[in-house]
Amino acid sequence: MLQLLLSYRYGDYEFGWQKLYGALYRVKGCISQPHSLQIIKAIDTDTTETVDMSPLLSAATLSAITEAVLGCKTQDLGELVEITTRVLRLAVDLDRKTILFSSLGTHLPRWVWKLLTLIPNAALDEVRKGRNLSAHIGHRLAQEKVSAARQGIEPNDDVFSQILDPNQPHKTVSEEDVASQTSLILIAGQETSANTLAFGLLELAQNPEFQDSLRREIHSTRGHGSRDLPYNDMPLLNAFIKETLRLYPITALTERMVGEDTVLPLMESITTSTGERLSEVPLQKGQIIYMGIASYQRLEAIWGADAGEFKPTRWIEGTGSRQGAAAIGPYANLLTFFGGERTCLGWRFAILEMQVIICELVGKFSFAPPEGDVARVHGTTIIQPVIPDGKKGAHLCVTPIV
C-alpha cells in the first residue's frame, strides 16, 4: 500500500525516465564538499567524542539531493522534511500484518488498491500529506525554472532545471511530470545513501587497519593539490564502497510482477517440500516474485566462503564475485541498485556522493566503536542501523586527525 501511494512500481511512471536517468548520471557540480563540511562543522570537537553519525549523514544527503536535483535549499522544503522522515520510518518498521496485507494486496486489481488507499488511517494520511506537499513544492519549483528559462536566464546545473529547460531540443518532460516525481526522488535518494554511509562508517570503525590505509590513500591523493579528487582512481575508496554496498543493500528485498510466461533457470538445483528436484522454476504472467537482494549478496557460492565478512580487499584481489557469475546490476556485479528496466535512477549520483563524503570524513576524523553500544541491522524490506534500544542510530567515537 505504501508503495502504491508513492507511485513507485505500480504508478504512472512512464514520464521521461531516460532524461531523468541521464541528468542524474551527469550531475556533478552540486555533489561537492559543502555537504560533508556541514557534517564536519556539526561534529565540532578537538578531542574524542561519541557522535551519532546517522542524523548528520541524513541531513547531508538530503541537502545534496535537494540542491543537486531540485535546485533549492533544504529549508525551502519546510514541513516536507519531517513528513518524509516519518514516511521512511513507516517503510522500515513494517509489522507482520502490514507485510502480509501488502503482499496479498499485490494480487488485487489496481482499482481495488486505489480504493483501499482512500481508507482513513494515520499512516496513509501521512503518506498522502507528504505526496501532496511534495507535488506542490515540485510544481512551484518547476514553474520557476521554466519561467526563468523563458526569460532567457541560463538554466542552473540542477537536474530539474536541465530536464525542464524549454529551449532544449526534444523536450519530453512536463512540469506536472517533474512535480509528481519530487516525493519519489526525495524518498529514494536521501536515506538510501545516508544509511549506506552509516553502515560503512560502522564497519570502518571495526576495521582500524583498513581505515588507516584508506586515510593514507586519501591524504596522498589530496597531496596532489586538486580540490576534486580523482575519486574513480582511488582503489581502496572504491573497494570500501563496493563492499559496503554488497553487505548492506538498503533495499534488502524487492518484488516484481512477471511480464510474460517464462522459465527461471536456477544456478543450483533445489529440492521442493514434496521431494521434487528442480533446476528451473516456471513463472506465470502476473505472478509476483520476490528477490532477496541481501541474501544474494551473501551467497557463498557467488562471493566465496568469507561472504559474510566485511572484506574490501576482495575487490582489489579480483575475488569480488565468482568468476563466471552472471553480470548483474549497473555497478560491481551487485544487485544493490537492482538491474534491468527499473534500475536505480540515481546510482551514479549515489556513488559520487559517497566518494566525496567518505574522503572528507575519513580524511579529517578517525572512527572507533563506542564501548558497549553495538549497532545492529534493522528492517524488513529496507534496512537501517539501529542502536540497542531499537532507535535508528550509528554511534561512533570520533577523533579529529591532527
- Residues lying near ligand HEM in the complex (CB under 6 A): 9, 24, 65, 69, 184-185, 188-189, 192-193, 196, 250-251, 254, 336-338, 342, 344-346, 349-350
158: closest CA among 74, 69, 73, 35?
A: 69
Instruction: Tell me, letter by letter, the H, E, C secondary structure of 97-152.
Output: HHHHHHHHHCCCCHHHHHHHCCCCCHHHHHHHHHHHHHHHHHHHHHHHHHHHHHCC
Nearer residue to ligand HEM within complex by CB, 299 or 397:
299
Nearer residue to ligand HEM within complex by CB, 345 or 387:
345
Nearer residue to ligand HEM within complex by CB, 183 or 321:
183
Q: How far is it, in rounded angstroms, from Cα 243 to Cα 202?
A: 13
359 known ligand binder: no
Minimum distance from CB of 239 to ligand HEM (Å)?
16
153: which 3 cell numbers?
536566464
Question: Which residues is 257 bridged to in the sheet?
Answer: 288
Minimum distance from CB of 345 to ligand HEM (Å)?
4
Q: Which amino acid belongs to residue 305?
A: A
Residues 6+ apart with CB under 8 A from 269: 277, 278, 279
Nearer residue to ligand HEM within complex by CB, 64 or 229:
64
Q: For residues 198 and 393, is the Cβ–Cβ distance under 8 A?
A: no
Minimum distance from CB of 11 to ligand HEM (Å)?
9
Minimum distance from CB of 331 to ligand HEM (Å)?
10
Residues 6+ apart with CB under 8 A from 261: 282, 283, 284, 285
Q: How far is it, in rounded angstroms, from Cα 179 to Cα 1?
A: 21
Minimum distance from CB of 327 to ligand HEM (Å)?
17
Q: How far is it, in rounded angstroms, from Cα 274 to Cα 354?
A: 47
Question: Which residues is 254 bridged to in the sheet?
Answer: 291
Minimum distance from CB of 179 to ligand HEM (Å)?
14
Minimum distance from CB of 7 to ligand HEM (Å)?
9
Which residue lies nearest ligand HEM, judged by its C-beta?
A: 346
Nearer residue to ligand HEM within complex by CB, 83 or 184:
184
Nearer residue to ligand HEM within complex by CB, 53 or 184:
184
DSSP string, 287-329: -EEEEEHHHHTT-HHHH-TTTTS--THHHHTT-SS-TTPPP-S
Nearer residue to ligand HEM within complex by CB, 24 or 133:
24
Binding-site entries for heme: 344
Binding-site entries: 344
